[in-house]
Structure 1
Amino acid sequence: MNTHQTLDVAVDNRVATVTLNRPDVRNAFNETTITELALAFDELGRRDDVRAIVLAANGVAFCAGADLNWMKKMAGYSHAENLDDATRLADMLRTIYLCPKPVVAKVQGDCYAGGMGLVAACDIVVAVEEANFCLSEVKLGLIPATISPYVIKAMGENAARRYFLTAERFGAQEAHRIGFAHQVVAADKLDEQVAAIVKALVTNSPNAVAEAKVLVRDIAGKPVTDALVLDTAERIAQIRSSPEGREGVASFLDKRKPSWLN
């Protein structure tokens, strides 16, 4: 039974779906949403029966960013209160980003401000053709600070320099061009495409998928030094001798399914 106020969380056939469920406010998030997302991803990341997570949303918009009532409250906060509030948001985004399970963002509608941070913290992003994106913070005299580590990684420094500064709205094809979205599909193909990606994820070695996530985070942007070369050699040596590594190679040679598919 779903016990969340702002989310729907369901697990079926090794796939968890976390759905933003405040369609009346375009899935804008508040303190409760932030807390519930952090707890949900922390719990799902620990569950052995979950091999992939889909982050989705109900309604016409994926996420409009911060809830207006929450913003009104923040306007009266002291610096200390603002720092505490921002830290909770930053911790939630990091929980999604560091989740050991692969996370697929299923973007069925517009995605603005903090919503872009949610998407950027995911591993794979599929968006519908009609979706619009916007980093609107500077229009309000703010900056996209807490989401910036993930958004800049996703779209690159050059694109971030433009869209952080202009607050222009851009479409799904532009999001794809700059690397923010991996794939753009027609609305009637969204479910099918996300299902295909998830099927690929749950078919693979759970341990290898988790280690591959860590590998990308650790290696991206690093110079190819002797230490890095040694590190990558150590990683492949460790995973070759791991139970799933041995089973995967053995099953391939024996022309049978690996044990994690049973």
Structure 2
Amino acid sequence: MRYETLDVRFLDGLCRIRLNRPEQGNAINARMLEELAHAVSQCEPSGQDKPVTVVVLEGAAEVFCAGGDFEAAATGATLDPEALYNLWTRLAAGPFVTIALVRGRVNAGGVGLACACDFVLCDPTAAFSLSELLFGLFPACVLPFLIRRTGVQKAHRLALMTRPITAEDALACGIADAVGEDIEALLRAYLPRLSKLSGTAVGRYKRYMAELSDIVARARPMAISENRAMFDDPTVRRNISRYVTEMKFPWEP
């Protein structure tokens, strides 16, 4: 695949995937979702001559991922929630270790993308938010992956408050695993051990962990159904369209 929205590099068992839609805040559109699914498939045992043991997801210095592409959604081109959920499940349960390197803003679906990973490493500029309820939505697909990390009440608070939390707050509530000024140094500290692990063993272990805490699999049908119902709601569509065209929230005159 010729990647248009990602930069993908393979090196000695490591795959680094960088979101590359800077003008759109690295928002996820249908093309990016397709490319992410392809890139992750290349990390599975049949995809490379040398097995990939670690997959690193990263964004830009100012924004990791702003979530789903509102401009596309305003025209009716909403993301396929089933494809999105499948991608996050592969990151959570695939036969490789997944690491999100987070700088800057992380919103909505960007939180889901990060929380699907095994580790979330942040620099102090990282800020996590769920803004969906401001537009009459709620983060149906994000919540199972977030709850897996934080527990129900902390995820509940983040969804209802809609405002960003800092990297240190994310560390305290379990979204982040480490925070440091030099995020590449954090990554280098994780790689020596992780890169030696067997993909077969990691895959078996992660499947076992998924069975122990089955919220992701159990919530899948309801999350996908709720997501589709919300984006089919004419009021929600109007709210999104108004925000895109006028930069106004639903309650603003």
Common fold: TM-score over 0.5: yes
Q: Deviations over 1:213-244 (max 9, x none)?
A: 2232222479xxxxxxxxxxxxxxxxxxxxxx
CA contact (8 A) 2:170 2:176 kept: yes
Distance 1:199 1:60 in 2: 28
* RMSD, matched Cα: 1.9
Residue 114 of structure 1: aligned partner: 109
Q: In structure 2, give the amino acid aligned to 1:215.
A: Y
5+ residue gaps, structure 1, are 223-262
1:65-84 to 2 correspondence within 5 Å?
Answer: 65-74=67-76
What is the TM-score with the length of structure 1 in the denominator?
A: 0.75
CA contact (8 A) 2:51 2:199 kept: no
Q: Which runs of 4+ in 1 moved over 4 A?
A: none
Greater CA deviation, 109-118 or 146-155?
146-155
Residue 185 of structure 2: aligned partner: 192
SS at match of 1:130: coil
CA contact (8 A) 2:93 2:203 kept: no
Q: In structure 2, give the amino acid aligned to 1:105.
A: A
Greater CA deviation, 118-127 or 144-153?
144-153
Q: In structure 2, give the amino acid aligned to 1:67.
A: D
Residue 16 of structure 1: aligned partner: 15
5+ residue gaps, structure 2, are 216-253
Residue 225 of structure 2: aligned partner: none
Number of aligned positions between the proteins: 212
Does residue 213 of structure 1 match 2:212?
no
Does residue 4 of structure 1 match 2:3?
yes
SS at match of 1:177: helix
SS at match of 1:203: coil
Query: Which of these residues, 160, 166, 172, is aligned with residue 167 of structure 2?
Result: 172
Distance 2:18 2:211 in 1: 29
Larger relative contact order (Cα-Cα within 8 Å, sequence gap ≥ 6)? 2
Greater CA deviation, 166-175 or 207-216?
207-216
Query: Which of these residues, 199, 203, 214, is aligned with residue 196 of structure 2?
Result: 203
Q: Quick one: percent identity of the two aligned structures?
A: 30
Q: In structure 1, give the amino acid aligned to 2:209.
A: V
Q: In structure 2, give the amino acid aligned to 1:203.
A: K
Distance 2:23 2:41 in 1: 27
CA contact (8 A) 1:93 1:147 kept: no
Does residue 139 of structure 1 match 2:102?
no
Residue 126 of structure 1: aligned partner: 121
- Rg larger for: 1
Q: In structure 1, give the amino acid aligned to 2:180.
A: V
Distance 2:70 2:199 in 1: 40
SS at match of 2:73: helix
CA contact (8 A) 1:38 1:96 kept: no
Distance 1:152 1:204 in 2: 27
